[in-house]
Structure 1
């Protein structure tokens, strides 16, 4: 497999929630009222923040994480928290809204549990104050699953006045205002290393005189502020003020990275305003600042300039749709916009521009004939020729408004334009798989789309690193998962997961049942849907919303075919020769897996790789199918040695005879009953046919060990002695009080060594001596000696480990 990955990333960032499950130190807020110490029965958000700072209980809050230097977690409930004044955290905190994960339904994009619903928790400043202010405290703020709305400031930062790092995940900043700068966020980076990171964030309805979404301090501590801003998989939409000079205002020495996001339907002053303003005319802007925009859809904005730039900084534009804006999409701020003699260059490749909202770039930026450095000119094309209508927030876009590209399959197409370096995921969190091999259908490869959304099309993966695994371990894994899920189903604390757990239980019970029923020797099991890419299809009655079609047996048939050798001729890959009749590649509809196996049991060392093709074919759409290649290599699975336990009672003439193989096996390769060739047997035999599979790693000094057969071990281990038949063990000292341990391995018929196991010899005679009353000091009574001599050595039990 050539780095061919599953097409979906988990769209929700929930991993940190496990911290709260494991830690009782989470501070749980239990009232929506903005209290501060007046009610010992309630813990308000404000009190929780104070508690985190003090490391002791405040109001009705538990003390939180009191360890020095540890960050505090604050958990909110679903509902709205209305503030009386801004919140000023004085310690690093993580604030979580109620998780929007619904484990009773499946995700509209991944078709797996849980579904992502709309955000449930909001903090509302009622247009009377900011929401958070860390400008003086310089503490880091981490927000997840939260809506911040109706913030207000007469100076800086309508919702957030940030003096350290801000991390927001799956959240929103709505309808906030500053009469000066930073309607949503104002950033003052007092110290280097502080960042703003926004992932899966909706920023909508904010306004300010300058920087309706984001503005920043330019010269903190008399130096150019080094502000790092990362915005990914987010939507910045409908931030509208006809008098605003900018939506994002860059100054100081910032580094702005805008990745896989939608910037649309925003408004600023149409005579002089900019959506992204990076010009050092009325404030300091470093010549070393950086702006990188990759895979964004920036359309339908109302501004004098969507991107306004001068000769400062390093600008990198790749795979962006920067078009269909009122005013110019890109405008040069110097020389009255005349770029004729400028030496300024911009790294601009694989972007799409249009004559509606033309993007002015220096000529040198488009120089060269290399396909990797070309931009698409959409000309006078109408926006809805290449894009869907604007999609409001819904479960189909993670509640982040966006546009879908249209697959027109012509020269003015945003789909599959180049393999290059677009964003790793699209705005929905769907992975842009651009390195799949598709050996049989190279023209059907998914390559980068322009814009924030990747239009998926059905693609069967070429999987070229297939090996059989241990049959025993597979069965044990299924049994273990079944037992775990059954426990989960009975757990009253997991009632929200009942539907998911019940469905998972049925899946693994079927896997156990049918893997056992259809078992084959050294079989490989392939889920053809696990590595395939789905096909985006329009959702009915949704105004153009797209949804990846679920990859399952309800929607698709699987067709398999054994193949001959795979070769490349003149750059074309094809199969030649007839398939090996001993190789089988079969779709099992009960197991929901492709099974690959050889009925002669031969290894790849003798046969080479075995190939088959498989086709995923739609049941509903005629002609919709994709074919991939499976390359199987069958290997020997190591035998299984299990530890044994025996009892030994020392005696001068008694010998314990054992056979460790009675407890060991070569079952990892699977059952041999369906092979059409003679089975060599489970364990190693030498050239004379004598079975010599046991290798003893250690023999205790107090023990004599012999065997029915001895000889060299196989292969590269020929310098060691191997044993076969019965092992005979005798203690050298009749009165030894010690237990013995012998570590050993076994070899299978192909000479592959097992895991290490142990033979435990438990001494039943130790601590049995007694001192006769009235006898000489420490002597052993005559009856004790006679008893020991009469017992001898015997096996008591064998115990699997």
Structure 2
């Protein structure tokens, strides 16, 4: 018999089958450059083929069809290619070790994970480039890698026919005999996005770092180039015409990056155009579309050895914002070409070399009405005569623990760049290192981070600053102490470390807990003090008790704020254990001190928070009713609690011996004052427990409470409900009922907040055992049920004439 599967079921089965599939992670386990000859090891070259072919190759597992696979390389490993370039023919990710410590905070960003130096390296084969995707136009996605060397005519390290995505990729020592020392983009699908990456020591006659094809199918090649938090330093030579050469119809966006000490002085490539580090100009055969655009935001472009640092003409839009574009060998920027009324430029909050009063002393000659007209706007800044780069910036170096070279502002002698640039809303929220912009200016309720001015350039100097924190709130004590480690994808060593950290945190949390406390990570949005040493600096976390002392304080005697160094959190609470009155907030303040220098912030920070009542916790209950039994007591509150607010013994009410559940308060004698007595005694006051609200009643029996009355939230807008209290008894309506029963309830705390709904299950033993009553010839319910079944069966047979 052939069974047909309905279309809905078939669709479900297909969806389940598809849902089970996922992208493959192919782990490379050898640094040797093998190509199928060793089935016992998986090399990088073999992993790329296994992903492309979607089948096992060499010692590598197969890639997953229709998915983007990940090829995972090891930490502290160098993969030296010996068999030529690596051809990318399908979409895949090639990842080095993540180079992070997930259990530590980054000293620059203040967030986890902490970034570590990239330790996975790929070295080019002798006389060959590293990656080539020209034929397939497939994406090249690289993460956490060092690429060293590479030689070719186009693209010494990467020849791309499709998109190139780089995250924490450092390309060094690549050379091209024609164009694109590091990367050459060919065709309209070729684009590049680089983040937190560096390019150094690369060279080519044209485009020591980047170059590209200009035309495609008789039209301009349209592409994007996006560089964010990138260092481009020490590239090019006297034989190179430019460092980055843009043509076709590119959209170029470079932000929070350092471009320095590059050399571009060769005029033989195009004698009609001056060499430049950044070049977006037409020149031969009108190679640049008038629709091209370039945006430079918060970059440091200095100490480049070239006639012009930035040369451009005919772009559809040029935008320069918050750049330190000064102290290059000659001109910082220049319009090259004939006047064009369609040219559109926006130039604000940049520091240029020279004077703002005359075009002859201004090093940035931007086109307006004629090629020789200088663009001077009120918002730009100009270095006065006799000053040099050393008046404004520390030397090129690694600052704050970053692995990207940059120039740090000098805090004392640079009033033209410290807090003198564009607003954070326009200059970028973080600097090249990931440090929050606006350091040194305290954020408060009226001054947001978007309204603070940045330091001019790629790096922000970190000044000890504590910022206001708003909207703190208490969370459930039970939820916090129930935290566990998500072990998915972790090694045993990582699991052990995470468990140790959580245990340390929870031990401190329990030991220091105050009733309804608010826990706040107030230092996460603060800035530490940058400490200089030569051309490097260090940044320490404010949460590091060896480096900083955090001191909270409050002017309200009912507010207690303390710093818990093990938890690295500020703890706030109301001493009387009450909640924050509606419509208001509680506040305290804190300051910080650098233990090494004694430095403190200019102003303390204000912390605002709200203490709320957390709903009580009701848990399910199970009881057994012996068959034939009339009633059983129910102690359903025994496993319930109000521990969301914290252990009740820590609350002022708990210390006074009062119960945590809702009690109906009534005056015994209305003629006498309705007051509580001292020392916990009661004078003319009666408290009746009415703390249980039954949501759904049982069906086989009845709940008989010791006390009952109207629920406290009854009003004219709600249906009248009855609440119970005291001892509850479940009364069985039928002694011989063989069925189980159940009901649901909520418990009310003293603040009249209802808990979750819990289920009470009453299991009748008639459903779990064959109960037989002894004496009097009685028989059990199971036997009776069996006899009734035989009677019914006989009746059916008789009805059919059998």
Give the TM-score taking structure 2 as reference length. 0.81
Shift of 1:544: 4.2
Aligned twin of 2:402: 398
* Contact in 1 for aligned 2:322/2:427 (Cα 8 Å): yes
Whole-Å Cα distance in 2 between the matches of residues 307 and 331 of structure 1? 6
* Contact in 2 for aligned 1:237/1:264 (Cα 8 Å): yes
Change (3 A) 1:70 1:606: closer
Aligned twin of 2:239: 243
SS at match of 2:637: helix
Aligned twin of 1:698: 696
* Contact in 2 for aligned 1:538/1:547 (Cα 8 Å): no
- Asked whether 1:459 is paired with 2:435, we answer no
* Correspondence for 2:311 among 308, 317, 331: 308
Shift of 1:162: 0.6
Aligned twin of 2:612: 635
* Correspondence for 2:477 among 442, 462, 471: 471
Whole-Å Cα distance in 2 between the matches of residues 111 and 466 of structure 1? 19
Shift of 1:628: 0.6
Whole-Å Cα distance in 2 between the matches of residues 747 and 673 of structure 1? 19
Aligned twin of 2:335: 332
Change (3 A) 1:605 1:654: same
Whole-Å Cα distance in 2 between the matches of residues 113 and 464 of structure 1? 22
* Correspondence for 2:254 among 245, 254, 258: 258
* Correspondence for 1:555 among 527, 547, 550: 547
Shift of 1:591: 6.5
- Asked whether 1:412 is paired with 2:390, we answer no
* Contact in 2 for aligned 1:233/1:261 (Cα 8 Å): yes
Give the TM-score taking structure 1 as reference length. 0.81
- Asked whether 1:210 is paired with 2:206, we answer yes
Shift of 1:654: 0.3
Change (3 A) 1:543 1:586: closer
Change (3 A) 1:704 1:551: closer
* Correspondence for 1:524 among 518, 523, 527: 518
Change (3 A) 1:494 1:376: farther
- More displaced, 109-118 or 280-289? 109-118
* Contact in 1 for aligned 2:347/2:377 (Cα 8 Å): no
SS at match of 1:49: helix
Whole-Å Cα distance in 2 between the matches of residues 596 and 108 of structure 1? 25
- Asked whether 1:178 is paired with 2:179, we answer no
SS at match of 2:481: helix
Whole-Å Cα distance in 1 between the matches of residues 448 and 287 of structure 2? 50
Q: How is 1:308-387 mapped onto 2 (pairs within 5 angstroms)? A: 308-335=311-338, 344-355=343-354, 358-362=363-367, 374-380=379-385, 381-387=387-393
Shift of 1:187: 1.1
Change (3 A) 1:442 1:119: closer
- Asked whether 1:431 is paired with 2:436, we answer yes
SS at match of 2:766: coil
Whole-Å Cα distance in 1 between the matches of residues 264 and 362 of structure 2? 15
Change (3 A) 1:390 1:497: farther
Shift of 1:247: 1.5
Whole-Å Cα distance in 2 between the matches of residues 515 and 599 of structure 1? 17
Shift of 1:98: 3.8
Aligned twin of 1:134: 133
Shift of 1:528: 4.4
Change (3 A) 1:209 1:469: same
Change (3 A) 1:423 1:114: closer
Whole-Å Cα distance in 2 between the matches of residues 699 and 588 of structure 1? 47
Gaps of 5+ in 1: 1-21, 564-578, 773-779, 789-801
* Contact in 1 for aligned 2:109/2:434 (Cα 8 Å): no
Change (3 A) 1:162 1:665: same
* Contact in 2 for aligned 1:770/1:781 (Cα 8 Å): no
Whole-Å Cα distance in 2 between the matches of residues 784 and 305 of structure 1? 104
Shift of 1:99: 4.4
Whole-Å Cα distance in 1 between the matches of residues 747 and 754 of structure 2? 6
* Contact in 2 for aligned 1:84/1:125 (Cα 8 Å): no
* Contact in 2 for aligned 1:315/1:347 (Cα 8 Å): yes
Aligned twin of 1:19: none
Aligned twin of 2:290: 287
Whole-Å Cα distance in 2 between the matches of residues 590 and 104 of structure 1? 14
Whole-Å Cα distance in 2 between the matches of residues 81 and 266 of structure 1? 28
Task: Tell me which structure has the larger Cα radius of gyration.
Answer: 2
SS at match of 1:50: helix
Aligned twin of 1:566: none
CA RMSD for the aligned pairs? Answer: 3.7
- More displaced, 627-636 or 283-292? 283-292
Aligned twin of 2:28: 29
Aligned twin of 2:621: 644
Whole-Å Cα distance in 1 between the matches of residues 201 and 306 of structure 2? 16
Whole-Å Cα distance in 2 between the matches of residues 60 and 708 of structure 1? 75
Q: How is 1:474-493 mapped onto 2 (pairs within 5 angstroms)? A: 474-477=480-483, 480=484, 493=491
* Contact in 2 for aligned 1:298/1:320 (Cα 8 Å): yes
Cα deviation 1:270-324 (Å, max 9, x = unaligned): 6521111111222432222221111111111112221111132222211111111
Shift of 1:201: 1.4
Whole-Å Cα distance in 2 between the matches of residues 72 and 588 of structure 1? 41
Q: How is 1:567-716 mapped onto 2 (pairs within 5 angstroms)? A: 579=556, 581-587=557-563, 593-605=569-581, 608-625=584-601, 626-651=603-628, 654-670=630-646, 671-673=648-650, 675=652, 681-688=659-666, 689-715=687-713
Whole-Å Cα distance in 1 between the matches of residues 341 and 66 of structure 2? 55
Whole-Å Cα distance in 1 between the matches of residues 138 and 184 of structure 2? 15
* Contact in 1 for aligned 2:577/2:651 (Cα 8 Å): no
Q: How is 1:440-459 mapped onto 2 (pairs within 5 angstroms)? A: 447-459=453-465
Gaps of 5+ in 2: 1-20, 268-273, 355-360, 667-686, 785-802
SS at match of 2:780: helix
* Contact in 2 for aligned 1:446/1:457 (Cα 8 Å): no
- More displaced, 216-225 or 374-383? 216-225
* Contact in 1 for aligned 2:32/2:79 (Cα 8 Å): no
Aligned length: 715
Whole-Å Cα distance in 1 between the matches of residues 582 and 112 of structure 2? 44
Cα deviation 1:335-355 (Å, max 9, x = unaligned): 3xxx7x956331222211112
SS at match of 1:669: coil
Whole-Å Cα distance in 2 between the matches of residues 771 and 585 of structure 1? 66
Aligned twin of 1:153: 152
Change (3 A) 1:757 1:597: same
Whole-Å Cα distance in 1 between the matches of residues 365 and 23 of structure 2? 57
SS at match of 1:707: strand
Cα deviation 1:73-96 (Å, max 9, x = unaligned): 243560232233222121112112
Whole-Å Cα distance in 1 between the matches of residues 782 and 213 of structure 2? 95
Cα deviation 1:214-253 (Å, max 9, x = unaligned): 1112222333222122111111111112232222111222
Whole-Å Cα distance in 1 between the matches of residues 306 and 477 of structure 2? 64
* Contact in 2 for aligned 1:455/1:536 (Cα 8 Å): yes
Whole-Å Cα distance in 2 between the matches of residues 104 and 527 of structure 1? 16
Whole-Å Cα distance in 2 between the matches of residues 409 and 747 of structure 1? 64
Aligned twin of 2:124: 125
